[in-house]
């Protein structure tokens, strides 16, 4: 390549080489084992959620009221289901700040590692669908497993930058192995630094 090529570039340059899908394909359809939650479900967890959401529903916080309902006691807001499956503080900071994945052997984490190493190390959740099957009660132990469903074959150009979408499926069960929720979750793994401030500031 001559010096001229550095100085004068064609308007539409040759496409950049991007991540080859074959590096990702092998993880599709694979599942993690069920992981134990950081905490059992407690009334204080439920109160914290309801206060942030400003949800006065007595089913969630008023034991006397809830006793008379068909559940026979307090239940957790169904949208809370994923709360107990997220990393504890230590693991989250290891994962997001120090690049040290917990549960490295899980297929979705292996895939995220590949994406990270290819420069797609930003992550943002973009869509979620939860179907609630059974109520969650204080004292429940909610375990979750993750199945890798789909990854973009090519790059997407998004507000966040260049990225690949990853669809994962969660299955949540309680201590009786009853399914309480199934969820599909879409994250965008994108390439920072991409200063998106200009996009949002108008």
Partner 1 sequence: MSLSQVEEFVGKESSVIQAPDEVSTSDIRHWREFMEGKKESWNTNIAPPPMMLVWAMDPLWPKKVDATEPHEQVLRLLDDAGYTIAVGIALDQEYFEPVRLGDQLSYKVKVVSVSSAEEETKMGKGYKVNLLYTFSNQKGEVVSKQSYTILKSQMLTPVS
Partner 2 sequence: MAQEVKNVYWEDVEVGQDLPEKSRAIDTTLIVSGAIWASHDFMPVHHARDFAQEKGAPDVFMNILTSNGLMAAYLEQWAGSEAELKKMNIGLQVPNFPTAGNKMAMNARITKKYEESGDHLIELDISGDNNLGPHIVGTAVMALPTKG
Give the shortest CB-10-to-partner 2 separation in angstroms: 28
Comparing CB distances to partner 1, the nearer of 91 and 116 is 91
Among 11, 54, 154, 176, binds partner 2 (CB under 8 A): 54
SS (H, E, C) the chain: CCHHHHHCCCCCCCCCCCCCCHHHHCCCCCECCCECCCCCCCHHHHHHHHHHHCCCCHHHHCHHHHHCCCCCCCCCCHHHHHHHHCCCHHHHHHHHCCCCCCCCCCHHHHHHHHHHHCCCCEEEEEEEEEEECCCCCCCCCCEEEEEEEEECCCCEEECCEEEEEEEEEEEEECCCCCEEEEEEEEEEEECCCCCCHHHHCC
Stretch that binds partner 2, among 80-88, 100-108, 148-156, 171-179 (CB under 8 A): 80-88
Comparing CB distances to partner 1, the nearer of 46 and 115 is 46
Among 23, 30, 35, 43, binds partner 1 (CB under 8 A): 43
Q: Interface residues with partner 2 (CB under 8 A)?
A: 38-39, 45, 48-62, 65, 69, 77-80, 82-84, 86-89, 92-93, 96-97, 122-132, 159-161, 186, 192-197, 200-201
């Amino acid at each position: 390549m001559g010096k001229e090529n550095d100085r004068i570039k064609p308007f539409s340059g040759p496409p950049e080489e991007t991540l080859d899908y074959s590096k990702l394909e092998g993880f599709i359809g694979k599942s993690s084992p069920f992981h134990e939650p950081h905490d059992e479900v407690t009334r204080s967890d439920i109160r914290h959620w309801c206060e942030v959401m400003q949800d006065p529903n007595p089913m969630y916080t008023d034991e006397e009221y809830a006793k008379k309902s068909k559940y026979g006691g307090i239940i957790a807001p169904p949208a809370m289901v994923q709360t107990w499956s997220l990393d504890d503080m230590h693991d989250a900071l290891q994962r997001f700040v120090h690049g040290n994945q917990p549960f490295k052997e899980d297929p979705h984490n292996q895939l995220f590692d590949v994406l990270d190493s290819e420069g797609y190390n930003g992550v943002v959740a973009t869509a979620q669908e939860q179907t609630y099957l059974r109520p969650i009660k204080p004292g429940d132990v909610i375990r979750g497993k993750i199945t890798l469903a789909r990854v973009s074959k090519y790059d997407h150009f998004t507000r966040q930058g260049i990225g690949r979408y990853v669809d994962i499926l969660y299955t949540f069960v309680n201590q009786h192995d009853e399914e309480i929720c199934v969820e599909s979750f879409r994250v965008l793994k994108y390439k920072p630094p991409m200063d998106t401030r200009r996009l949002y500031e108008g």
